[in-house]
Chain A
Amino acid sequence: DAKTTQPNSMESNEEEPVHLPCNHSTISGTDYIHWYRQLPSQGPEYVIHGLTSNVNNRMASLAIAEDRKSSTLILHRATLRDAAVYYCILRDLSRFGNEKLTFGTGTRLTIIP
């Protein structure tokens, strides 16, 4: 499976935008880029995913580089509730039996009031 590389930790001020980077230089053409986050004492939760084009939803935006070797999760206006560990995960769902999520170490995001 293709690997992802994320910074171990990041800090951001409350109510400012946050850009969380992810490198995936060995991504294959069938890999989707998924982001999950884990709030303290909770299970992981889905944030967003994409394949080639940039994506927006109510939680965040996902900017995908043209060569797909990197992507950035954008939280437009961070709140204290966004403090979590963010995981960038590649998923090749083109074949059955490959649905599991492979978590790395993620990026621990701290929001400064």
Chain B
Amino acid sequence: EAGVTQFPSHSVIEKGQTVTLRCDPISGHDNLYWYRRVMGKEIKFLLHFVKESKQDESGMPNNRFLAERTGGTYSTLKVQPAELEDSGVYFCASSRPGDRAQETQYFGPGTRLLVL
């Protein structure tokens, strides 16, 4: 089966611009997660979708970040306006529904965002 894909792989934008990241989860995976690693820091959780609903958005840093998952398939993460501190790698992960105790998250390769 195809893995989690993310687009673009790299993005360089100027401060104040808008960027939209896309994640296509593995087919049939209801759970979709966004994480990010900013420079020198640990990977941090941003939010979790179950199908099209936001299950947990406790990690979203501020209202400049907007995540959507219309139709419960792919997801987008928009940053508007981008700030310098938003630079980092944004990862998407997905998992299938079922036995939560055995839940395994499958990660995409990440989008490397650089805000100048």
Interface centre among B31, B103, B110, by most chain A C-beta atoms within 10 angstroms, is: B103
Q: Which of A8-16, A21-29, A97-105 contacts B (4 or more CB under 8 A)?
A: A97-105
Contact B107 A100 (CB under 8 A): no
Q: Which residues of B contact A38 (CB under 8 A)?
A: 43
Q: Is the CB of A99 within 8 A of B43?
A: no
Whether B55 contacts A32 by the Cβ 8 Å rule is no
Interface residues of A: mostly helix, strand, loop or mixed? loop
How distant is A2 from chain B, measured CB to nearest CB, in Å?
Answer: 16
Give the interface residue-count category, chain B.
Answer: 20 to 34
Do B93 and A43 touch across chains, with their CB atoms under 8 A apart?
yes
Contact B33 A42 (CB under 8 A): no
A41 to B9, CA, bound (A): 11
For A44, what are the chain B residues with a Cβ–Cβ distance below 8 Å? 43, 91, 93, 105, 107
Q: How long is the Cα–Cα vector from A20 to B95 in the complex, in angstroms? A: 26
Cβ < 8 Å to B, chain A residues 58-102 = 91, 93, 96-97, 99-102
CA separation between A84 and B109, bound complex, in Å?
14
Q: Annotate B93-116 by CB proximity to A: 1 below 8 A, 0 otherwise.
A: 101000011111111111000000
Residues of A within 8 A of B43 (CB): 38, 44, 101, 103
- A102: B residues at CB distance < 8 A: 45
Cross-interface CB contact of B31 among A45, A51, A99, A105, cutoff 8 Å:
A99
B48 at the interface (CB under 8 A from A): yes
Whole-angstrom CA separation of A93 from B35 in the bound complex: 19
Shortest Cβ distance from B92 into A: residue: A43
B64 at the interface (CB under 8 A from A): no
B56 touches A (CB below 8 Å)? yes
Q: Are B45 and A97 in contact (CB under 8 A)?
A: no
Q: Report whether A43 and B91 are in contact in the complex, using a CB–CB cutoff of 8 Å.
A: yes
Cα of A51 to Cα of B102 in the assembled complex, Å: 10
Partner of B108, one of A43, A96, A100, A105: A43
